[in-house]
């Protein structure tokens, strides 16, 4: 693939000062890799190029790997010295020295050169440790045991003192920790004599100052009797394991890690002496997390609160080191994990947890048909965000089965047909039962007889399932192109073209300008239209009618399908409608989760819409990726963010600012608009990357950068007009665009 960075070498005359030392060092796509062990015999290194010059690109690099930190800091590599390598690569740079040994501790550093040949200082030293080195491959053994944390970061504990304490009429101490998390309580006591006390933990209040003992569904409440000793002591409250989420298909807590549960509130009865907020501490477990890696603010307070709850949700639900569906089951599910993955990528520059979740789900898949088809989607997004092909290479054949092409009939459309659910097909999916089409979940509830499916007509040839199938075929073609398999890629594209033609013939209702639910159906649900819109199956000439129908149904889907609903609306240029949904305050909105009293996103819009819902479901956190990916418009166009898009769709926001982490560094932007068509965009692009900036304008003459025409600005290249936007290419650096001049 031709590097998109090469044209930017033309701006080399504008590079003045030498680059700063690279930072953000990663080994095997992990920051702080010394906290685990690496099993890849040729681990990949990555770093952030720090060069503030406009259009800055790396022209060369040098890595040293040493047996001591001192040697690495001095640029001496007694394990490996790459020498100066002429290359723009700053991610996925493979170790190429003498064979590493099992159980070896190494230290490494890197320096870079800019396009003018100026060398940076050496980076700070990073460390990695090898475990038992082996070929990169699928998970061996049963991942539910969760007893192997090689190649991913183990969890860490954060302590939060109570933000408020009060005494109840009964004399109990009520503690509020501000936000819910998966943890336990630690008490600091000073007791005149030994005794016992009672600790109650929960997520839901019955009334101010009292935890609900019967919160309903699978919202959590537990009560424990806790012994304490005479004198000063620290007491960790032991939570008994819940058989429902610690056996069967559940992912277990790592060996030696004490049981945790989601809670925000605690009641302590019978405690000796006087408790202070510092003496009542929540200890919660989560994957290592950089709280400042991402940021968002806007002119809409509701939207800001929605962002905050989503960020907190992704952080605290990471406690097992694998993406799970919530506390009721603690089972990884593919549809949930896809949303979790995209959110995590938009909040932190860490990729190992998502990659492990993919490997887990390839070993332990779940039953919904669309969940099978989420796996190519997850692998493809991993490749786009990291630029690493290992998962494609390891699972390439398995991903073919995950497209469900084994259920295809002559025209390419897949059919939910028992005759096609052969033992061979089920085995190829690593399932024990035939996959079943989901569309959305739950199928029904007390509040809605139609559940979250908008009355969907569930017939064998299903529009939703086939939209996923089409999308998978395109992704398989793209993966094969990434591996250099041109003929195979062309074959997958041909299959996709065939499905696209059949899709239009079978599902399109020309009289209404929308899609039907299924072959032989007269019904059109929101889902039959939102998924083809999100996956590019709606011709541009029909986007208006399909979008209008989707909008007429409001939020007619679950928190899961809302991910794809808003993806489709943004793709169709319906940014204002998407913003309306993100900021809605009715009972089918993200803000309703906050109004209901939760500080972690819910499994459903409201308790009444899912009888057994929990209050700690990451699949409810879709705005955590929709805001950076769609509203701010930052998405990778080429693997590893070598080239990415910036296309803000602010709707009627007067301003929005954000920081979006990428593998190459932070994308920072601040957009303000006083009226439609008059936008000011301040943008920082990481060095060694290229951004395609999409600005609503009739042409380049309507856009300025700095004090002059954008098309003539240093380091700015006008590319084309697309979807009503003037599109410009810019390299690393700071830019100030304005439209409507």
The 3-class SS string of 566-605 reads: HHHHHHCCCHHHHHHHHCCCCCCCHHHHHHCCCCCCCCCC
Which residues of the chain fall short of a pLDDT of 70?
1-16, 741
Distance between CA 445 and CA 287 in Å, rounded? 34
Q: What is the pLDDT of residues 684-702, one digit of tens each?
A: 999 999 999 999 999 999 9
The 3-class SS string of 192-255 reads: CCCEEEEEEEECCEEECCEECCCCCCCCCEEEEEEEECCEEEEEECCCCCCHHHCCCCCCCCCC
Which are the contacts of 548, defined by CB distance < 8 A and separation ≥ 6? none
- Long-range pairs, 703-711, Cβ under 8 A, ≥24: 703/728, 703/737, 703/738, 703/739, 703/741, 704/737, 704/738, 704/741, 705/735, 705/736, 705/737, 705/738, 706/735, 706/736, 710/737
Distance between CA 547 and CA 726 in Å, rounded? 23
How many beta carbons lie within 10 A of that of residue 330, not counting itself?
25
The 3-class SS string of 477-529 reads: HHHHHHCCCHHHHHHHHHHHHHHHHHHHHHHEECCCCEECCECCCCCCCCHHH
* Cis, peptide link before residue 442, omega less than 30° from 0: yes
Residue 12: predicted pLDDT: 44
**Alpha carbon distances (Å) from 642 to 4, 408, 710:** 7, 36, 22
Distance between CA 242 and CA 229 in Å, rounded? 27
Give which of 464, 489, 487 is closest to 474, Cα–Cα.
489
Residue 368: predicted pLDDT: 98
Contact 164, 267 (CB under 8 A): no
Q: What is the pLDDT of residues 626-670, one digit of tens each?
A: 999 999 999 999 999 999 999 999 999 999 999 999 999 999 999
Place of tokens 């240093």: 714
pTM metric for this prediction:
0.96
SS3 state of residue 23: strand
Joined together, the tokens standing for residue 345 give: 């990528």
Residue 16: predicted pLDDT: 58
Q: What is the pLDDT of residues 617-636, one digit of tens each?
A: 999 999 999 999 999 999 99
């Amino acid at each position: 693939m031709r590097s998109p960075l090469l044209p930017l070498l033309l701006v080399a005359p504008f590079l003045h000062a030498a680059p700063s030392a690279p930072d953000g060092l990663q080994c095997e796509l992990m920051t702080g890799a010394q906290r685990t062990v690496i099993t890849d015999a040729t681990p990949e290194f990555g770093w952030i190029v720090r060069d503030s010059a406009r259009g800055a690109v790396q022209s060369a690099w040098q890595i040293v790997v040493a047996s001591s930190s001192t040697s690495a800091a001095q640029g001496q590599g007694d394990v490996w010295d790459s020498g100066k390598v002429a290359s723009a690569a700053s991610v996925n740079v493979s170790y190429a020295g003498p064979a590493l040994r099992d159980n070896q501790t190494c230290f490494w550093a890197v320096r870079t050169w800019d396009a003018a040949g100026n060398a940076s200082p050496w980076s700070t030293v990073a460390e990695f440790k090898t475990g038992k080195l082996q070929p990169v491959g699928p998970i061996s053994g049963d991942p539910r045991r969760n007893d192997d944390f090689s190649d991913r970061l183990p969890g860490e504990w954060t302590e939060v003192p109570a933000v408020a304490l009060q005494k109840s009429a009964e004399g109990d101490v009520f503690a509020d920790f501000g936000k819910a998390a998966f943890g336990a309580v630690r008490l600091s006591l000073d007791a005149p004599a030994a005794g016992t006390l009672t600790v109650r933990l929960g997520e839901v209040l019955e009334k101010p100052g009292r935890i609900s003992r019967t919160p309903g569904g699978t919202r959590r409440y537990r009560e424990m009797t806790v012994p304490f000793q005479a004198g000063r002591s620290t007491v960790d409250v032991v939570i008994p394991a819940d058989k429902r989420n610690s056996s069967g298909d559940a992912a277990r807590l790592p060996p030696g890690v004490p049981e945790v549960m989601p809670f925000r509130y605690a009641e302590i009865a019978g405690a000796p002496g006087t408790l202070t907020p510092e003496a009542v501490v929540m200890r919660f477990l989560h994957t290592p997390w950089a709280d400042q890696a991402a940021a968002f603010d806007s002119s809409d307070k509701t939207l800001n609160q929605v962002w905050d709850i989503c960020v907190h949700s992704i952080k605290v639900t990471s406690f097992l080191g694998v993406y799970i569906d919530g506390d009721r089951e603690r089972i990884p599910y593919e549809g949930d994990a896809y949303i979790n993955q995209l959110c995590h990528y938009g909040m932190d520059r860490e990729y190992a947890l998502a990659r492990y979740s993919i490997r887990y789900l390839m070993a332990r898949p779940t039953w919904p048909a669309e969940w099978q088809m989420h796996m190519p989607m997850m692998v493809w997004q991993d490749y786009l965000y990291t630029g690493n092909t290992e998962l494609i290479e390891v699972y390439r054949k398995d991903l073919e089965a995950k497209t469900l092409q084994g259920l295809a009939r002559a025209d390419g459309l897949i059919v939910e047909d028992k005759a096609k659910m052969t033992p061979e097909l089920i085995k190829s999916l690593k399932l024990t039962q035939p996959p079943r089409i989901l569309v959305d979940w739950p199928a029904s509830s007390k509040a809605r007889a139609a559940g979250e499916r908008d009355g969907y007509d569930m017939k064998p040839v299903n529009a939703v399932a086939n939209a996923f199938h089409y999308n998978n075929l395109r992704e398989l073609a793209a993966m094969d192109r990434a591996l250099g398999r041109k003929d195979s890629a062309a074959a997958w594209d041909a299959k996709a073209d065939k499905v696209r033609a059949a899709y239009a013939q079978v599902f399109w209702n020309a009289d209404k300008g929308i899609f039907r639910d299924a072959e032989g159906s007269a019904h059109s649900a929101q889902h039959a239209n939102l998924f083809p819109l999100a996956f590019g199956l709606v011709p541009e000439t029909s986007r208006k009618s399909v979008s209008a129908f989707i909008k007429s149904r409001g939020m007619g889907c679950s928190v899961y399908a809302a991910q794809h609903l808003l993806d489709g609306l943004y793709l169709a240029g319906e940014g204002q409608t998407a913003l309306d949904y993100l900021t809605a305050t009715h009972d089918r909105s993200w803000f309703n989760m906050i109004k209901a009293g939760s500080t972690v996103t819910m499994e459903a819009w409201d308790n009444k819409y899912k009888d057994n819902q929990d209050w700690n479901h990451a699949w409810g956190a879709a705005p955590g990726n929709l805001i950076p990916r769609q509203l701010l418009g930052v998405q990778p166009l080429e693997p590893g963010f070598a080239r990415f898009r910036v296309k803000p769709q602010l709707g009627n926001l007067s301003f929005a600012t954000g920081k979006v982490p990428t593998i190459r560094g932070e994308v920072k932007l601040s957009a303000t608009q006083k009226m439609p068509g008059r936008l000011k965009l301040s943008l920082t692009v990481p060095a060694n990357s290229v951004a395609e900036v999409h600005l609503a304008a009739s042409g380049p003459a309507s856009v300025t950068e700095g004090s002059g025409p954008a098309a003539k600005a240093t380091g700015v290249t006008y590319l084309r007009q697309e979807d009503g936007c003037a599109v410009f290419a810019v390299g690393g650096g700071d830019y100030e665009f304005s439209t409507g001049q």
